[in-house]
A and B are shown apart, each in its own frame.
Chain A
Amino acid sequence: MADPVPFRGGGFAPRTKRGVGLIVFVGLIAFLEWGTRAGFISALTLPRPSDVLAEFGHFYRSGRLWDNLLPSLERLVVGATFGATAGIAVGFAMGLFSYARAGLVPLVAAIFPIPKIALLPLFVIWFGIDEASKYALIAFGTFTPTVVATYGAVDNVDRTLIRMGQSFGLSWFSITRKIVLPGAMPGILSGLRISLAIAIILLVAAEMLGAQTGVGAYILEAGSLYNLERLFVGVSILSMLGVTVSFIIGRIERRLLRWRS
């Protein structure tokens, strides 16, 4: 008797499944809508999704959406750009130079666990109550996770490839730009995913503590009035911001890391 050889391969290779994420979202919202209408989720527990949507429509038509979203976006873009750029530069230095590594690894380890929001008063004293202190807070919050990710990514670049570059007499600058940077790119990008999510969290925190406009200020106001519809409008905007950032990084990864898959 002959049995077929049992198949033991396959798996461990997640593929893109279009629309599944959307179905999860739609299903969850439909469930909440049904639950609030049927009455087993009380209006005090969760607002009805259709009411949140109506509130969002109102928010949009009154023009307050842009009044709050644009300042938030500006803070996020400026702060995160500064923080990520500095983080990548310092992380590279730590990955490449012994002194930078020896000097900065303990420092970064000391700074990383500090909740950056605790430093906002300090930044207000340094940079004033205006935009600059918010930029600084977001930049600082983005900086530390980017440094850690970049440093690790540079450290993980295949040394054989670097030796190869040296054996062909490539300059230090060429090796760094053509071998180390692309080799570290996967790690840097996955670090950026985390750093930018942290940037959004800090954006809201900064706006809650000292801003007239912005998504964070809007959420704070809605929260103190216990207006759950508005609160959820604000929170949904943040979620969409997060999804957009993740989508953009996904696009960049697809473009820069085409060689991997």
Chain B
Amino acid sequence: MELSLRDVGHVYGAVDVLSDITMDIPGGRILCIVGPSGCGKSTLLRLIGGLERPTRGAILQQGAPPEGCLNPLTYVFQDFALLPWRTVEGNVRLVLEDHRLGAEAVERIVADVLARTRLSDFRRALPRQLSGGMKQRVAIARALAVNPAVMLMDDLVGLWTRAPFTSVYVTHNLAEAVRLGHRIVVLSRRPGRIAETVDIDMALEDRRADHPDLLRDQQRLWAVMRDEARAADAELVDG
């Protein structure tokens, strides 16, 4: 499934958060959104996930979600949003319960996603007993359980790359974006606009940190980000 954004802008009260965002999110690929803090990255992701209505513009989805997809646009929250009163298994089951899949199918999906996130031994653990990284894996397991067409991830540590779905990944780690993204969008400081878009065609498994092409892309993006950060600092000082 592909998504495209047309002239999207967003306003919180009197604050212009995002402006003139037009981009395509190609199906089955990984899009990384990077930018200085407070540039509206997370807001953009919430808009794409349908959790907020954009003030201007439109967000369109093209193509039908694949067979067996329970929740086409699936969002992984920055703070994971696990229910503290449910076990790891219960948190995964939560998103399947409304779909009337039958006990067997639910059990098969739960066992599968917990195995894929290496959480099978922690089925009965409560969120408070888990480390931050493990909580994140529970959130990812829960997202995988609904077989998403597009996975929207807000500032996760490390990325789920071996996936058949489209991914939109918000990060402030440029090196990671260059290592894992097929397309990288740099947002400017507030109001967030697209400052730069870079497509990296190299296959993910060929990417090495010291590959000259990657270094060149990274340096170019870094320069854009540095200028944005400098301008943002200057605005703070001039106040």
What is A's interface to B at a CB cutoff of 8 Å? Answer: 158, 160-161, 163-171, 174, 178-179, 182-183, 257, 259-260
Contacts and interface: CB of A to CB of B under 8 A. Distances in A.
Contacts of A160: 77, 79, 81
Given A182-B83, A260-B84, A164 B77 contact: yes
A260 B75 CA distance: 26
Contact of A174 (B86, B98, B128): B98
Given A169-B98, A170-B95, A259 B51 contact: no
Interface of B: 49-51, 70-71, 73-75, 77, 79, 81, 83-86, 94-95, 97-98, 126, 128, 142, 146
Nearest to A158: B81
Chain B's interface: helix, strand, loop or mixed, by majority?
Answer: loop
B84 A171 contact: no
> What 10 pairs across the A-B complex have the smallest Cβ distances?
A164-B81, A259-B85, A168-B95, A167-B75, A182-B85, A160-B81, A169-B71, A259-B126, A259-B84, A168-B71
16 contacts: A158-B81, A161-B81, A164-B75, A164-B77, A168-B94, A168-B146, A169-B70, A169-B98, A170-B94, A170-B98, A174-B97, A178-B83, A178-B94, A178-B97, A182-B83, A259-B86
Contacts, number: 52
A146 to B, nearest CB: 21
A161 B83 contact: yes
Given A160-B77, A182-B83, A259-B85, A167 B49 contact: yes
Contacts of A164: 75, 77, 81
Nearest to A170: B98
A129 to B, nearest CB: 46
Given A163-B81, A168-B95, A174-B98, 6 more contacts: A161-B83, A165-B94, A167-B77, A169-B71, A171-B98, A179-B83
A167 B74 contact: yes
A89 B51 CA distance: 28
B81 A259 contact: no
Nearest to A167: B75
Most buried by A among B71, B81, B142: B81
Contacts of A179: 83
A28 to B, nearest CB: 38
